[in-house]
Every structure is written in structure tokens, then in C-alpha cells.
Chain A
């Protein structure tokens, strides 16, 4: 096993967090975790199909970044998108129904696991090809700047966050978009979820410079590495980056050092990662960490957290029921949505 990178230290105590905010983050992370566990169960029970990529272990990234944004900001994801969608405000019902291929899914059952979309929540997708979401996110960021500076709309200060993995940073679109984002000072966060693996390709076997955040400096962009297993650390970096972007000061690259607790997808036998590596990262479970922090700081007690978990468990059971009882898309609408409707 390759030597683990030293995680940057973060003084959690410095995080300005009140009870309400602490619980908001906690709920979002628990929701993500439980949702994904339920997906695994439903997949093995034959309720959902295709390639299903779960997010377990990486929750601190989605929550830390998206909960530092406004609801009118934009989020762009990959094929590992369920939890980004949930953090962005898409309901568990709509995401679960999409996974079940139902008409009530956020993409009307046409998209599936890797194609979650919600215009209402400014969720740009759901992109199944490596890297292709990055330019799309750049376009949303360009649009904000265009409205502000070409059309004089001073309220157009929306920020876009593009999420993608370590393996994706070897793709040209990553470099092309860093370049353009700096050239045009676009309000965008490039959030790299470095979970050390791209399916079976270890990061150090694929990238000549493994410290991805350093790649920002070549473009004159600030780049940060952050402990992606600590939601408060992610949140602090994200808040600063969002503020910069919103103020018109341009893009930021954030490399979150994280880990997926499951195989690449539910079809992956996960044979290449060592048990020692898995154990080491499992011990950093971001949910356990936040729980400990909330209790330590007297922001919540055990009973409160248990009640939240119970509530969310029930919430997800409801989502399954909703998905199960929802109608399939009508065969009469097989061709609908190919072209825009008036």
C-alpha cells in the first residue's frame, strides 16, 4: 500500500457552528448515507438496474460544499450523483423514483442513476461520461457572469460547483476549463473528490503529479487541499471559495481527500483495494466524526441524534414506498422530450 498523504489539519474548534447549522449538516450527511445504503439493498433486490455508484464515505464533500451555497446556485455532478442531488434539495422521493425508473423521478425515469437532473434545484446533471460535466458547469458560471457584466443584472451573483473525481483530472476538459475559468474570472468551484481510485486505477498510477490542488497554481488559480472526511474542514474552504466567486474574484480548485467505502459501483467486486487501506479510511468516517464533534461541543446529545436518524430512516422508507407505488412512464410518451415543448 502506498503511503497515505498527510491530511491537512483543521482546528474544528475554529468552525463557527451553532446548533441549528450543526444539525443541518448532520441531517444532510445522514440522509446521504442512509439513502445510499437503501439503494444497495434495492439494487440487490432487483428494484433498480444498471450501473449504480454509491457515495458512502464521501458525504462530507457534498454536504460541506453544497450546504455552503445558496439554493439559487448551480450544482454539477457525475454518475455518482444521488447524494449531490439530495444536498442540492432534490427530494429523496424524486431521486429514489428515478432509480426505480418511474415517471415521478427527477428525470421522469428517462435518466436513471447516472443522470439525475432538476432544473428547479439548479442541478445541471447527472453526467455519465468522465469530465463532460465540467464544461457544462463552466457554461452555467459563464451565464452568471454574462448576466452580471453583459446584461447589467447586479443580482446575478450565482456560483456554480462542479464535482468530479481524481481520475477525471487527467482528462483534457479539466485543464481546458481551469484555463477558461481563470481567463474569464468565472464564479465556479472545481471540487475534486480524490478518493484515490478511478475504478481499478490507483491515482498514483494515473497522475504524474498526484497532488491535484497544485495544478491550480499553473493557471493562477487558488488551489486547496482539504480533509474530505471532515465536513467542517470542507465547509470552511468552500465558504471562502463561494465568497470569492460571488464577489467576482474568480474560480477556486478544492481537492478533497476522501474515500469511498464501497466498490466503484454495485457491480464492482472491489478486489484491488487493500483491507489495511479500507480500515484506515473507515476509521475516519465523516459521519462518526461529526457526531462526536456535535456531542463534544454540546451542540446535540445522543438522543437527539438518534431521533434524527430514526426520522430519516423512516423518510427513506417512505421514498421507497413512493417510488414503488409511482407509475411507470407511459409508452405513449416514448418520444416525448426529444425536442423542446412550448
Chain B
């Protein structure tokens, strides 16, 4: 066991996988000499050299497309988005090429590549650096989308993503890089497609992911104080969604609240609500509730910013409201 910061857990994952498989390489802006803007690749340039830790010019769509070409021809690229928002410039390469090409090519090619980096609402970074992009990408066929939330799952999930044969969009959260946790010293993997039941409970299922996991866990004390027993599930995989785990939980609690950082319109929760209605409607004792961030560009002002995203207090209130409506 070793106490490890989340960004170092990611670094260990990349390092271990590069050591294990020589076709794995990293590319992106400032990943080499600089060690990555959040130090996820620190020291790897020195260890693996300039081709395996490739500093690219600031040319997101082209270096992302280049990674697609490298993956089609047998390498396993890890693209670091200096900020995931910058990859909006690479939307075409991520959607048309990484996502759709395996299908369009009739299975001629598969694209084992990881696109990772910091996303989410930071602290007063302004709208463009505080993006909530997961929902933009969820409709793209062929992509897997994962959001890590703890040092333990960050490491195990990134290793699995690197070994996966498909393009994986791997969201880290800019405010979680300094989380600490004791990690096993033996190698471990965390599967990409399994949601994580963080807390078992019987009264209400709370589905969440990324930084909101921690907001939900903060809210749990308040919820317990009201006398309720919530089940907390970290989705981990935003595409595909683990409906087995969700279904098992709904059969127990019959109530669902979704807490997400992405925007309400067309968000991850919107998709999950629709699917829960399709699959588990008869199990529900109440309409599914969602707490999402506001449909606005993230404002700079600190107070407005905190009003934009869901706060723990709102989660407690939502549970209370849902449970009270039952009696």
C-alpha cells in the first residue's frame, strides 16, 4: 500500500502500460519536456524517449487524427488533451474517425486509443476551461466514455482503457487530481463497464459520476441524519451505461436520483432517465429526479459558479423531497 495522489495514480498507469507494451505511446501538448500540464506524464519522456512521449505542436485535430492513423496501423496511442475542452477542435477526428470508422470500414480496422485529460468545472477558470463535454460525445457511435473519480479507480480504469481495443474517452476531473488514497502495491485493473456501488442502501438510488461522487458522499451524512438510507452508485462508464447494476439497485430501492455535473439539456441523466423508463418503469415508485448543472456557460464569478453546479445541500433536499412524497 502506498498513499498516492490521483495524478500520480494516472502516471503509474501510463508508466506500467508503456513498460508492458511497447506499442503504447503518449502524445499531446507539453506531455514530454514539461511532463504534462497536470504532471501525469512527468518523468516519462526521460524514461521512454521522444517518440514514445511525443510533444506535439498545438494542432488538436491533426494530432488526434494522427493518433487514429497510428492506432489503425497497430500502435496504441494515448492522446492527452491539455484540457479536454481543447479537443472540441478534434471533434471530427474523435467522432467521424475514432468513433465511426471501425463500423464504416466494415471491421477492417479497429482503433485502440485513449483520449484522456482534465475536464469538468474547475475553480473560476471561466467558461472555456470549465466544460462539461461528456454529453456532447455520448451520441457518437463506437466510443467508450469513462469518468474516473478516485486514485484507485483512476489507475485501474486507465490501465484497462489502454488495453481496450476501442477508442476510450477518459475523463479526469480538474479538481480531483490531488485526491489521496492508499493504492495496492500489486498490479490491478478496474473494468471499464462496471458501475461502482459506493454505498449500499435501501431507500433511494443515487447515480452519479466524477466529482459529483464526492458531493453525493458529502450529502450522505445529511441524508442519514434525515433517517434515510441511500444507495450511491458511481457510474464509472458513461457509455455504455451499466444498466445491470442500476437495475439491481432500482429493484431494491424503487427510487432514483441522478446527480451530474453536465448540463441538464441532453445530458447524461436525460439519457439514463429515458432508459430507466424503457427498462425499469414498473419498478419505480416515483419519477426519476435529476440534479444537473445549469444550462449556461460556466461563469467566472465564484458565487455564480457555485450556483451553476449541484451542491451537496441540494442533494440532501432532493432526497428528502422524494422520500416525503412517498408518505
Contacts and interface: CB of A to CB of B under 8 A. Distances in A.
Interface of A: 74, 76, 105-111, 115, 117-119, 124-127, 129, 132, 134-143, 145-146, 149-151, 172-173, 176-177, 179-180, 183, 336-342
A173 B25 contact: no
A337 B25 contact: no
A340 B69 contact: no
B65 A134 contact: yes
Given A150-B49, A338-B142, A340-B165, A105 B96 contact: no
B62 interface: yes
A136 B66 contact: yes
Contacts of B109: 117, 119, 124
- Most chain A CB atoms below 10 A, which of B23, B62, B63, B77: B62
Contacts of B71: 139
Contact of B69 (A115, A142, A179): A142
A136 B97 contact: yes
Interface string B47-66: 00101100011010111111
A337 B63 contact: no
A27 B182 CA distance: 67
Contacts of B185: none
B112 A340 contact: yes
A108 B103 CA distance: 9
B131 interface: no
B92 interface: yes
19 contacts: A74-B73, A107-B105, A107-B108, A110-B105, A111-B106, A117-B108, A129-B96, A134-B62, A135-B65, A136-B65, A138-B65, A139-B68, A139-B69, A141-B69, A172-B59, A173-B61, A180-B59, A338-B141, A340-B110
> Which interface residue of A107, A142, A338 has the most chain B CB atoms within 10 A?
A142
Given A176-B59, A339-B166, A138 B66 contact: yes
Nearest to B105: A117
Most buried by B among A136, A173, A341: A136
B107 interface: yes
B142 A139 contact: no
A179 B56 CA distance: 10
Given A140-B72, A338-B142, A173 B106 contact: no
A142 B104 contact: no
B73 A135 contact: no
Nearest to B72: A124
Contacts of B93: 132, 135
Contact of B63 (A146, A172, A180, A342): A180
Contact of B166 (A115, A127, A172, A340): A340
A172 B62 CA distance: 9
Given A106-B106, A119-B109, A339-B166, 17 more contacts: A107-B106, A110-B105, A117-B104, A119-B105, A138-B62, A138-B65, A139-B72, A145-B51, A146-B51, A146-B52, A146-B70, A151-B22, A173-B62, A176-B63, A336-B107, A339-B142, A339-B165
A155 to B, nearest CB: 14
A135 B62 contact: yes
A149 B52 CA distance: 10
Of the candidates A135, A140, A146, A338, the one having the most CB atoms from chain B within 10 angstroms of its own CB is A135
B119 interface: no
Contacts of B69: 76, 124, 135-143
Contact of A140 (B49, B73, B106): B73
Interface of B: 22-23, 25, 49, 51-52, 56-57, 59, 61-75, 77, 92-93, 96-97, 101-112, 141-142, 165-166
A205 to B, nearest CB: 25
Contact of B59 (A106, A117, A125, A179): A179
B74 to A, nearest CB: 6
A180 to B, nearest CB: 6
B105 A115 contact: yes
The 10 closest A-B pairs by CB, nearest first: A139-B69, A135-B65, A108-B106, A340-B110, A340-B165, A117-B105, A176-B62, A136-B69, A176-B59, A139-B70
Contacts of B102: 337-340
A71 to B, nearest CB: 15
Contacts of B68: 135-136, 139
Contacts of A149: 51
B105 A111 contact: yes
Nearest to A336: B107
B141 to A, nearest CB: 6
A340 B74 CA distance: 13
Contacts of A76: 69
Contacts of A150: 22, 25, 49, 51-52
A105 B108 CA distance: 11
Contacts of A173: 61-62, 65
Nearest to B113: A139
A135 B94 CA distance: 12
Identify the interface centre among A106, A111, A137, A340: most chain B CB within 10 Å of its CB.
A340
A307 to B, nearest CB: 35
Contacts of A115: 104-105
Contacts of B141: 338
A103 to B, nearest CB: 9
B104 A111 contact: yes
A132 B22 contact: no
A294 to B, nearest CB: 36
A198 to B, nearest CB: 18
Nearest to A139: B69
Contacts of B106: 105-111, 117, 337
B63 A110 contact: no
Contacts of A151: 22-23
Contacts of B70: 139-140, 142-143, 146
B94 to A, nearest CB: 11
